[in-house]
Amino acid sequence: MRSTIKKIKRISLTTVAVIGATLLLNYANYKRYYSSIFTIQTVDFNILSHVLSTKLSILLADNNKREINKVINSNYGLFGLVITDCKTDKPDCPGQQVLFSTYSKYQSYASADLNNFTFDLLRNPPPLKVEQFYPKSTAKKRESTGQQNSGNIIGRVYYIRRKFPSFLIAQWSWLKNPFSFSSVNPLYNLTFAVMAIGGVTLYLLVEKKDLQNQQKEQEYQLKLLKTENELLKFRTFNSAFEQIIEQDFSSVIANNLQQLDSLLKNILLRIESDAQNIIHDIYKAPLLFNPDTIPKYINQLEKDKGKSHISDELIELLKNLNKTIQTLKWVVEELRGITRIQSEPIIVQKQLKHFQQNLPPTIQDWQIDFVYPDTDLWINCNPWHLRSIIKNALYNSSSAMKKYRRKLKKEKKNFNGKIKVECKRKDDLVIIQIEDNGSGIPEDIIERLYETTERLNQTAGNLRGNGSIIISTYLTLHNGTVEKENLDQGARVSFIFPLIKQEA
């Protein structure tokens, strides 16, 4: 009976190993196959961008629908060609209508789905120059050739890649029809066959080895019987000793750990509940439900300023009120991340892009440029804390530039404030660098800025001037450091974190 169960387990493990190895290798086959399809489509699109816009411009100008349908369906539906009536060269064209599209069993095409795809303009007279091209077969985006065609824009042709199935869907399709010789299925079959043969061979070798071990085991049974009594005595002593340890120490430690774990969970639950309660209460504010109300009235008041004798100070006050409401709404949205206290592996670029797309309203008036490297940079940090570090540093840059602008305004000089946020790698470190062209960091606080829990701005109220404390605390939590320097015009602050290796 025991031998039968052992064989069943061994067969099960072998089966699981074969299936696992097959899936792993099939994933590599899947990636290679669809990467090749992507490359082929890139080459096709690059060729079409050199010739198709000219022919379609001629046919569309002549309203030759029959020939147009022949052209856009000549690819057998393996990728999409869509012609719309858009007459502008701007990337977005929300009002465009689809005139012609490739018939495909794989997918359908609608005007709302076209914004993310590349296109060429159709003109009258027809374009003769190539305006965009793929620099290499593996490129995902086209680059400009620097050439420009003349003529009236009469439409555009979109090049739409075929939607590839996910790996799980591809595997399910293969399992439903394993004997199909289309697509990548033959490669899947070959991989499974090789793994199955290898698994059976391994199973037979292990079975043979097991038989040999059973023979040796019988030889050792007599020796084991002689030592069994001594081993039993040792186990009895060990069991008694373990009971004493557990009664005197383990139970106390376990109870304390359980209480501590329960306490921490209650604290986190309370923080989360309090945060949600605050958010709930804030959203009861009427203006948060209708954030466009004040901008609407501000615009109306500016139009009627001369008739109604409304002062510029009142309009400026309303603008500041609107910015305050927008800031409050932004803070409420960010408050949802307050209960996340653990560090975790994160991609710095991903967090910076999220922050770039959700800038605090109080700093949106400045020109802020974000620069990222192509390679993902991983650090061990809480994502909400990282964005808070960047946010508070940008607040300080914004405050410095506002003071500098007021100073120059008194001197009747113009000021164009700029901030640059750059992420880069240096050896085994990740550096997030923030540079502005304001008045710089005061010399009396630059050495202690972001490196102490002391409030540096003693003139501010209790709820202000805490940015340096916040950043210093978060840097300490996540093994970060900071470097600061004043430039000829402005200041530069660099937040430095250890780079971690993260497997894809």
Residue-wise pLDDT tens digits, 232-248: 777 776 776 666 656 55
**363 and 311 in a common domain:** no
Residue 58 lies in a domain: yes
Encoded tokens for 189: 């079959």
* Residue 211 pLDDT: 80
**Token digits of residue 145:** 């050739």
Per the structure, the count of domains in the chain is 3
Is residue 223 included in any domain, yes or no?
no
Query: How many residues are listed for the chain in this entry?
Result: 504
Burial of 57 (0-12, 13-18, 19+ CB in 10 A): buried
pLDDT for 340 equals 61
Are 80 and 148 part of one and the same domain?
yes
pTM for the whole structure: 0.41
Q: Which helix (H) or strand (E) holds 245?
A: helix 185-245
Both 42 and 116 in one domain: the answer is yes
The answer to whether residues 369 and 308 belong to one domain is no
> Does residue 105 share a domain with residue 148?
yes
Domain boundary among 164, 194, 214: 164
Residue 235 lies in a domain: no
- What is the mean pLDDT for each group of 10 consecutive residues in the chain (504 residues)? 77 82 81 84 88 90 90 85 90 87 73 81 91 88 90 91 79 75 72 80 82 81 77 72 60 64 62 57 55 64 63 65 62 58 85 86 85 91 88 88 88 89 93 92 87 64 62 87 92 94 66
Decide: residue 9, CB within 10 A, 0-12 exposed, 13-18 middle, 19+ buried.
exposed
What integer pLDDT is reported at residue 463 of this predicted model? 41
Q: Which domain holds residue 392?
A: 340-498
Do 311 and 350 belong together in one domain? no
Residues 54 and 124 in one domain: yes
Q: Is 132 within a domain?
A: yes
Q: Give residue-wise pLDDT tens across range 272-319.
A: 555 555 655 555 555 555 556 666 666 666 666 666 666 666 666 666
Cβ neighbours of residue 362 closer than 8 Å, sequence gap 6 or more = 323, 327, 395, 398
416 and 288 assigned to the same domain: no
What residues have CB less than 8 Å from 52, skipping those under 6 apart?
A: 71, 81, 120, 157
pLDDT tens digits for range 358-389 = 888 778 788 999 999 989 999 999 888 888 89
Helix axes 185-245, 2-61, angle to 10 degrees: 130
CATH number at residue 387: 3.30.565.10
Judge if 362 and 445 occupy the same domain. yes
Residue 197 forms part of a structural domain: no
Same domain flag for 150 and 125:
yes
Considering the chain, what percentage of its residues have pLDDT values greater than 70? Answer: 74
Q: What pLDDT is recorded for position 293?
A: 64
